[in-house]
Amino acid sequence: MADHIFPTAPSVWLANCVLRPYRASDLEPLCAAAKDPAIARYMRDAFPSPYDRESGLGWLRICHVKGLPPAAEEEEIKPTPPASLGPSPDIKFAICLLDGTFVGGAGLRAMGADGTDRYSREIGYWIGKHFWGRGLATEVAAGLGRWALSSAGRQLTSDGQLLQRIEAGVYADNLASVKVLERAGYVREGVRRQAVVKNGAMHDVVIYGLIASDVENSDDI
Ligand SMILES: CC(C)(COP(=O)(O)OP(=O)(O)OC[C@H]1O[C@@H](n2cnc3c(N)ncnc32)[C@H](O)[C@@H]1OP(=O)(O)O)[C@@H](O)C(=O)NCCC(=O)NCCS
């Protein structure tokens, strides 16, 4: 694999795809894939729908991508995270095939507001519809979870400690994602009944968790 396709760190190399930081050239393929309402349907409302060029630019700005056109309005000032969460508790990756083709996004997000959950992260992922059914999301959920629970995850904690838990909350009718998480080794832990409203309808949210001992005791996916 040519080094220049993925020059920036950190990157997570998997069998069929790579997770790497977003870059300005992702704007077009990001918008093309994300504008399909089938993606937003099972995402939180923070994922825009409809998804236009400004949505993509806004996301790349959140990801601190350099070389973008200036924002039309003053950037929203984000609250400072508690000191116990460290400066960068979240991580956001573009998902690319090994030839560099952009296929989707994945990330880890800090949980809780007061630092008590500081060794846990919530995983999120989406794959452009054109690339569904190839096992990519399963590879990402398994690979990113294991990466985060390994020593690589120390960069996300303010005290350099290992992360202990990766959590996913999936709408109960998102059967593809339920399958992804179960195949990726996440353990079904319970249901937050009628927890979210999406497009005017209430949804149960199924909670899946992956903890350090799950990874130690399992074969690679
Ligand atoms: C969920 C999503 C990430 C899955 O991506 P993917 O790369 O297609 O996932 P995989 O190929 O690894 O596995 C999906 C599996 O679910 C299956 N599946 C798809 N739709 C299904 C359905 N309605 N019912 C049951 N299984 C279904 C697929 O056939 C596949 O299983 P298989 O390999 O045995 O055929 C993708 O559909 C997506 O981006 N959806 C919108 C965003 C989203 O839901 N994100 C997750 C939020 S928790």
The amino acid present at 41, given as its one-letter code, is: R
Q: Determine the 3-state secondary structure of 78 from DSSP.
A: coil
Q: Is the CB of 140 under 6 A from ligand 1?
A: no
- Give the distance (Å) from ligand 1 centre to CA of residue 208: 16
- Give the distance (Å) from ligand 1 centre to CA of residue 130: 12
Is residue 209 situated within a structural domain?
no
The pLDDT of residue 153: 93
pLDDT at residue 157 greater than cutoff 80: yes
The span from the CA of 32 to the CA of 73, in Å, is 24
CATH number at residue 98: 3.40.630.30
- Give the distance (Å) from ligand 1 centre to CA of residue 180: 6
For residue 82, whether the previous peptide bond is cis, meaning omega lies within 30 degrees of 0, is no
Give the domain extent around 64. Answer: 3-71+80-167
The span from the CA of 138 to the CA of 95, in Å, is 12
Q: Is the CB of 141 under 6 A from ligand 1?
A: no
Helices (H), 116-218: 136-149, 175-183, 212-216
Share of the chain above pLDDT 70, in %: 87
Q: Is the CB of 177 under 6 A from ligand 1?
A: yes
Is residue 64 situated within a structural domain?
yes
Buried/exposed code over 27-52 (b: 16+ C-beta within 10 A; e: otherwise): bebbbebbbeeebbebbeeebbeebe
Number of domains making up the chain: 1
pLDDT at residue 120 greater than cutoff 90: yes
- Higher-scoring residue by pLDDT: 73, 181: 181
Strands 201-211 and 165-171: antiparallel
Is residue 177 situated within a structural domain?
no
Q: Is the CB of 187 under 6 A from ligand 1?
A: no
Q: Is the CB of 47 under 6 A from ligand 1?
A: no
Q: Cβ(60)–Cβ(102) under 8 Å? A: no
Is residue 151 situated within a structural domain?
yes
- Higher-scoring residue by pLDDT: 17, 83: 17
The pLDDT of residue 77: 46
Is residue 217 situated within a structural domain?
no
